A and B are shown apart, each in its own frame.
Chain A
Amino acid sequence: KAGVTQTPRYLIKTRGQQVTLSCSPISGHRSVSWYQQTPGQGLQFLFEYFSETQRNKGNFPGRFSGRQFSNSRSEMNVSTLELGDSALYLCASSRDLAGAGAYEQYFGPGTRLTVT
């Protein structure tokens, strides 16, 4: 089975711009979670989608948004980029077939975003 894929792998943007990151989960996985990793804050949960619905959201400003498509692929968008948004953005998928949560999460390689 192919693993979780994320595109692009690297991205450089300027303050004030917006960015869209894409994640394709493992085939058959319906849950997709997004995380931000920075040296200062570590790994922090952004949001989770299951069957095109956001089920959970972390403590991030409204500039961070996401969506999930019917094929379970997910995108996250960050608008009005700030320097502090520079981070590794990771998505993870889970098989969570019954929507009950509590399964292993399998991570993609991440997108390294640099905001200048």
Chain B
Amino acid sequence: SQQGEEDPQALSIQEGENATMNCSYKTSINNLQWYRQNSGRGLVHLILIRSNEREKHSGRLRVTLDTSKKSSSLLITASRAADTASYFCATDALLGGGTSYGKLTFGQGTILTVHP
């Protein structure tokens, strides 16, 4: 079963615009990770944010985490056509106070299309 939902399901923008994707989840977590997937290939790890962090940056990526609302957002600034892909959030859930040992629970993903 999916941990949460991603919003929007699809996003279409022009090159140079910013793209924001949101993720909600259901349980307490150790961390939340964002991945990118191009055309049914393997997932590329983008960024990991731990439960005690509120914001993290990596290049053109900015991730926020609000554990009180059980939500996260991924912002891609100055989008490029090469950013066209599906983006997934994945949570490492807290179980009995510990980690879920290698189990990431994924959202359904946001399909981002960046038009040149």
Q: How many residues of B contact A (CB 8 A)?
A: 29
Q: Chain A residues near B2: list those with CB within 8 A.
A: 42
Q: How far is it, in angstroms, between the C-alpha of A45 and the C-alpha of B30 when the chains are bound?
A: 17
Q: How far is it, in angstroms, between the C-alpha of A106 and the C-alpha of B33 when the chains are bound?
A: 11
Main secondary structure of the interface of A (DSSP, over half): strand
* Given A33-B103, A42-B109: A101 and B42 interface contact (C-beta under 8 Å): no
A-contacting residues, B70-116, CB 8 Å: 88, 90, 92, 98-109
Q: Chain A residues near B99: list those with CB within 8 A.
A: 100-102
Q: Chain B residues near A24: list those with CB within 8 A.
A: none
Q: Chain B residues near A112: list those with CB within 8 A.
A: 40
Contact of B45 among A32, A56, A107 (CB under 8 A): A107
* Given A42-B106, A90-B43, A108-B42: A101 and B100 interface contact (C-beta under 8 Å): yes
Q: How large, as a class, is the contact surface on chain A?
A: 20 to 34
Q: Chain A residues near B43: list those with CB within 8 A.
A: 90, 92, 107
Against B, the Cβ 8 Å flags (1 = close, 0 = not) of A81-116 are: 000000010101010100011111111111010000
Q: Chain B residues near A109: list those with CB within 8 A.
A: 41-42
Residues of A in contact with B (beta carbons under 8 Å apart): 4, 31-33, 35, 37, 42-45, 48-50, 55-56, 58-59, 88, 90, 92, 94, 96, 100-110, 112
Q: List 27 A-B contacts (CB under 8 A).
A: A4-B42, A32-B102, A33-B103, A33-B104, A35-B104, A35-B106, A42-B2, A43-B90, A45-B104, A49-B102, A56-B100, A56-B101, A90-B43, A92-B43, A101-B92, A101-B100, A101-B101, A101-B102, A102-B30, A103-B48, A104-B45, A105-B45, A107-B35, A107-B44, A107-B45, A110-B40, A110-B42
Residues of B in contact with A (beta carbons under 8 Å apart): 1-2, 30-31, 33, 35, 40-45, 48, 50, 88, 90, 92, 98-109
> 4 extra interchain contacts, Cβ-Cβ under 8 A, other than A44-B106, A50-B102?
A45-B104, A49-B102, A90-B43, A94-B102
